[in-house]
Amino acid sequence: MISPRSALAALVLVALVASPLAAQRYFSLRAVRRPAPPAGSYVPGEVIVGFAVADDFARVERALRGVGGVAARRSRHGGRFLVTLEEGRSVASAVAELEAMPEVEYAEPNGIVSAFLTPDDPEFELQWHMRQIGAERTWDIQTGDPSVAVAILDTGIAYEDFGPFRKAPDFGNTVFLRGFNVFDGSEHANDDNFHGTHVASTVAESTNNGLGAVGLAFGCALMPVKVLDSDGTGTFFGVSEGIDYVVNFRQDGQNPVKVINLSLGGDFVSTTLGAAVDRAVDAGITVVAASGNEGKRGVSFPASHARTIAVGATDGRRERAIYSNTGPELDVLAPGGNVDRDDDRNGFPDGVLQQTFDPFTAAVFGRYDDFDLFFVDGTSQAAPHVAAIAALLYTQGITDPDAIRESIRSTAEDLGPEGRDDDTGYGLVQPARALSGLGLNQ
């Protein structure tokens, strides 16, 4: 469980969820399992037919009526017809019969096309947050590459089977780098809270694999770095250690980590942690941090540090979420949700929907294998959307953290008064605009 702030809150960092789990700020889909979408990739009851004798309307009509055609529309360009079949008539059998006719050049189902990747993950339809920032348009430009990694400095990730821990089921295609646990110095950065797995899934949950939900930069790799304990708390020193691990990491002589996500924060400025952020940015790593959930003026640290990208949250209405902190350091907003609302009226709370394990089962029984999809709200959930965009920009060719931050800022959708303001920053992130701004996919 994520502990409420105590009198010692100024000495620790807390995972930035909108309120403690005791307030039930999460919602599981466990009890809701809808049928899979219909199989097939063509319009039911429609056939395209190309006739060699298109101007012989008597033969055309006879052929179409013979296979159960009840309506037909001729193309403006040539001898093809779009035919609607009578109810219950099989498309496959109609195509077979038409192809056997001498007057028919070809026949085929009326296939469905899409300009963008529409993933087959069954719960994508409930991820309003991905649609809010145009994920499908983004994927038409860039989906990421495993040579670019995002380090998730959090409670760990459910990324491996180790001891009592289990790998989350929808990380099957996700690439993981060697992690680090600042509490014991090992490489086993396993999640014992729930928070880090949910955050990581927004970045790179396996996508278009017919399972669960989607991640925004699903082609990129993840690095788990455990800097928060099972209560979701850690220290400036521990987070600094985690950042330095990322900065010094090498694989085949290179550091593939180009983005750090910090869905955490504290109440005062730390020289130690600020210096660690500076080392990361100087090493070419973009640092993204959550602004905080107290609904107050004043961005949490390290989001308030000048060299991070400070991220606030929107709800389902494309408005700043009521809990999202404001201030002059705020850069942009991204979807964070509000589980008290259902603005799309689909019967589900407007939290960010990603996979993780049940925090109640973990806290009470010490089990880390009870996985499901959970709606969670907070600036913690907003930040990884921006970390994913940064990783896609790096994959696309922008390698300087300052340029990445400027690209994200300058292409955001202005939600407040014209220009930047302290409540909404530069506005709601628009990844497709940022990526197409390179001129690679106009």
Q: In the prediction, which pLDDT does 78 show?
A: 79
Q: Is 324 a catalytic residue?
A: no
Catalytic residue among 121, 145, 154, 170: 154
Please give the structure tokens belonging to residue 329: 């350091």
Instruction: Please give the chain's pLDDT, 442 residues, in tens.
Output: 222 222 222 234 545 554 332 333 566 665 333 333 334 467 889 999 999 887 888 899 999 999 999 999 888 777 889 999 999 999 999 999 999 999 999 998 887 544 446 788 999 999 999 999 999 999 999 999 999 999 999 999 999 999 999 999 999 999 999 999 999 999 999 999 999 999 999 999 999 999 999 999 999 999 999 999 998 999 899 999 999 999 999 999 999 999 999 999 988 889 999 999 999 999 999 999 999 999 999 999 999 999 999 999 999 999 999 999 999 999 999 999 999 999 999 999 999 999 999 999 998 999 999 999 999 999 999 999 999 999 999 999 999 999 999 999 999 999 989 999 999 999 999 999 999 874 333 3
Q: In the prediction, which pLDDT does 11 show?
A: 34
**Whole-number Å distance between alpha carbons of 391 and 220:** 7
Please give the structure tokens belonging to residue 116: 């963008």
Q: Is 77 a catalytic residue?
A: no
**Whole-number Å distance between alpha carbons of 429 and 426:** 8
CA distances from 352 to 95, 264, 395 (A): 44, 17, 25
**Whole-number Å distance between alpha carbons of 261 and 387:** 6
- Which residue, 73, 23, 82, is CA-closest to 376? 23
CA distances from 340 to 323, 337, 343, 378 (A): 12, 9, 10, 12
**Whole-number Å distance between alpha carbons of 271 and 274:** 5
**Whole-number Å distance between alpha carbons of 110 and 82:** 8
Please give the structure tokens belonging to residue 402: 């300052």
Cβ proximity of 362 and 400 under 8 Å: no
- Which residue, 331, 435, 423, is CA-closest to 383? 331
Q: In the prediction, which pLDDT does 53 show?
A: 81
- Give the domains, in start order, of the chain with CATH numbers: 9-35+118-436 (3.40.50.200), 42-111 (3.30.70.80)
Q: Is 252 a catalytic residue?
A: no
Please give the structure tokens belonging to residue 89: 């008539």
Catalytic residue among 121, 170, 192, 195: 195
**Whole-number Å distance between alpha carbons of 297 and 401:** 26
Strands 42-51 vs 80-85: parallel, antiparallel or unpaired: antiparallel
Q: Mapping DSSP to helix (H, G, I), strand (E, B) and coil, where does residue 408 land? A: helix
Catalytic residue among 263, 380, 407, 436: 380
**Whole-number Å distance between alpha carbons of 13 and 129:** 26
CB under 8 Å, gap of 24 or more: what pairs does 127-132 form?
Answer: 127/213, 127/214, 127/352, 127/353, 128/316, 128/335, 128/337, 128/344, 128/350, 129/335, 129/337, 129/352, 129/353, 129/381, 129/385, 130/214, 130/216, 130/335, 132/314, 132/316, 132/318, 132/335, 132/428
Cβ proximity of 328 and 379 under 8 Å: no
